[in-house]
Amino acid sequence: MPRPRLLAALSGLTLAGLVGSCVSMKPAALAYKPDPQRPHHTAKGFQNLHVPFRPKGWLTVLQWQWDAVRNGLPPPPSTPTPRVAPALDFIASNARAGRSMEPAVIWLGHSTVLAQIGGLNLLTDPVFSERASPSRTIGPKRAQPPALRLDELPKIDLVLVSHNHYDHLDEASVRALAAQPGGSPLFVVPLGLKAWFAARGITRVEELDWWQTLTVPDATGRVEVVLTPAQHWSARTLTDRMQTLWGGFAVFAPDCHLIYTGDTGYSPDFAEIKRRFAGRQQDGGFDLALIPIGAYEPRWFMRDQHVNPAEAVQIMLDCGARRSFGHHWGTFNLTDEALDEPPKALAAARQHQGLREDEFFVLALGETRRLPRRAQRAVQAAPEASSVW
């Protein structure tokens, strides 16, 4: 009997972001006006700057899945994803601290991270549902629940959505966040995705193109968010492939400079990120990079869309981060490596580059990592970027 992953692929549901990657159908109408001056804009959607995304085709997908079935992949994990009781008292008191907030990150699972910086409670790619799928009965299922329930979160001020794949954009989760007590957070999304939110009655949304800047209102100090390029793609149905943009986010707060890369393959984009922000990174670069380390096997299939741990370490070096946190592992069984393999491969890659464990670390689910506060200084305007706020 086919495995759930194969059933998911055959039914067109998400599998490592595969929805829409294999079947060519008539595309939906674009939700934005392409700009011919921007090389990643096309008449049919968006494209990567360095390695164009090309659908693999159903036969290639089935070859991957059949090879995995024959070889018993992915193997079961030798240990469960580590988990600790979340520091709820610290999270709550830190959320109330405003300008005195201590910079910190908490891993909630997969690519969902709670960052407390700049007086803001910030979430990346919130996925709290049991499955990363449009279905409640089929598609990748969580290996364990999120480290915090939605009702245990502090009031969220800002949500960064990197792209529209189901393991990064979960409708039930964003609806719940939009209805949180005290009002909806501000959702910042890539170009073309605002219409998806509007269709669901979620209106506190700003969309950005690559290198555009948003100054976040009501922050205690000047906090700027810039959408940065990534090597990936988008699709949520069989008709909307590449119709919305994808990317990462650079967040410049007085107490912390953070970059969240989003899903990505390795590319020159990250050296360009360092170059573009050199003017404001003269004091040592990003304080923290959130870089994915999982969903990378087999390489012949995943290389152009997901980095492996060795490439994640290289991204850290390319973008000029003082330290990095590896996520996107241990939660959804998406590809052919074991759920617990990415941290082991990261340890080898880190050793190869001569990095300490605290320079590129992983966290247990629910674990809080407090960060040194950067010297307070004015945040300069981003070069070659424009404001949309």
pTM of the full structure: 0.92
pLDDT at 32: 74
Instruction: Assess whether pLDDT exceeds 90 at residue 276.
Output: yes
User: What is the helix (H) or strand (E) element at residue 315, kind and residue range?
Assistant: helix 309-319
Residue 220's pLDDT band (cuts 50, 70, 90): low
The pLDDT value recorded for residue 219 is 67
Fill in the amino acid letter for 74: P
Residue type, 323: R
Region for 97 from its dihedrals, namely left if φ exceeds 0, alpha if ψ lies in -120 to 50, beta otherwise: alpha
| Residue 141 CA: distances (Å) to CA of 7, 127, 133, 150, 185 | 13, 12, 8, 18, 27
Give per-residue pLDDT as tens, 92-145: 999 999 888 999 999 999 999 999 999 999 999 999 999 999 998 999 999 999
Q: Which helix (H) or strand (E) holds 186?
A: strand 186-190
Cα 276 to Cα 383: distance, rounded to the nearest angstrom: 7
Residues 6+ apart with CB under 8 A from 250: 225, 226, 228, 257, 258, 259, 273, 277, 286
Share of the chain above pLDDT 90, in %: 79
Please choose, from the candidates 277, 350, 361, the residue with its C-alpha nearest in 3D space to the C-alpha of residue 319. Answer: 277
Q: What is the full DSSP assignment across 144-185?
A: S--SS-GGGSPPP-EEE----STTT--HHHHHHHHTSTT-PP
Q: How confident is the model at residue 28 (pLDDT cuts 50, 70, 90)?
A: low
**Mean pLDDT for the stretch of residues 327-355:** 98
Which CATH number describes the domain made up of 88-370? 3.60.15.10
- Confidence grade of residue 387 (pLDDT, cut at 50, 70, 90): very low
- pLDDT at residue number 21: 43
pLDDT tens for each residue of 107-121:
999 999 999 999 999
Instruction: Report the distance separating Cα 278 and Cα 92, nearest Å.
Output: 35
Residue 370: which of 102, 85, 97 has the closest Cα?
A: 102
Q: Which of 290, 368, 378 is nearest to 326 (CA)?
A: 290
Q: What pLDDT band is residue 284 in, cutting at 50, 70 and 90?
A: confident
Tens of pLDDT, residues 312-336: 999 999 999 999 999 999 999 999 9
Residue 292: its pLDDT value, please? 98
**Averaged pLDDT for residues 201-207:** 98
Among the ranges given (57-61, 82-86, 126-130), the one the predictor scored with the smallest mean pLDDT: 57-61
Mean pLDDT of 351-361: 98
Secondary structure of 241-292 in HEC code, one letter for each residue? CCCCCCCEEEEEECCEEEEECCCCECCCHHHHHHHHCHHHCCCCCECEEEEE
Task: Report the alpha-carbon distance of residue 314 to residue 200 in Å, rounded.
Answer: 39
For residue 274, count other CB atoms closer than 10 A to its CB: 17
Q: Which residue has the higher pLDDT, 251 or 279?
A: 251
The answer to whether the beta carbons of residues 186 and 159 sit under 8 Å apart is yes
Report which of 21, 16, 15 is spatially closest to residue 242, judged by C-alpha positions. Answer: 21
* Angle between helices 309-319 and 341-352 in degrees, nearest 10: 50
pLDDT digits (tens, 9 = 90+) for 162-178: 999 999 999 999 999 99
Do the bridges between strand 360-361 and strand 288-292 make them parallel or antiparallel, or are there none, so unpaired?
A: unpaired
| Inter-helix orientation angle 269-276/309-319, to 10° | 20
Q: What number is the average pLDDT over the span 255-284?
A: 92
- pLDDT for 107 equals 98
Query: Cα–Cα distances in Å, from 68 out to 3, 8, 159, 336, 343?
Result: 10, 14, 35, 7, 21
Of the chain, the percentage scoring pLDDT greater than 70 comes to 87
Lowest mean pLDDT among 4-8, 11-15, 224-228, 384-388: 11-15
Return the minimum-mean-pLDDT range out of 79-88, 92-101, 212-221. Answer: 212-221
Q: What value does the mean pLDDT of the chain take?
A: 89
pLDDT of residue 380: 45
Among the listed residues 181, 150, 153, 158, the one whose alpha carbon sits nearest the alpha carbon of residue 92: 153
Q: State the pLDDT at residue 112.
A: 98
Q: What is d(CA 75, CA 84) in angstroms, rounded to the nearest whole number? A: 24
Q: Identify the pLDDT of residue 95.
A: 96
Confidence of residue 29 (pLDDT cuts 50, 70, 90): low
SS3 39: coil
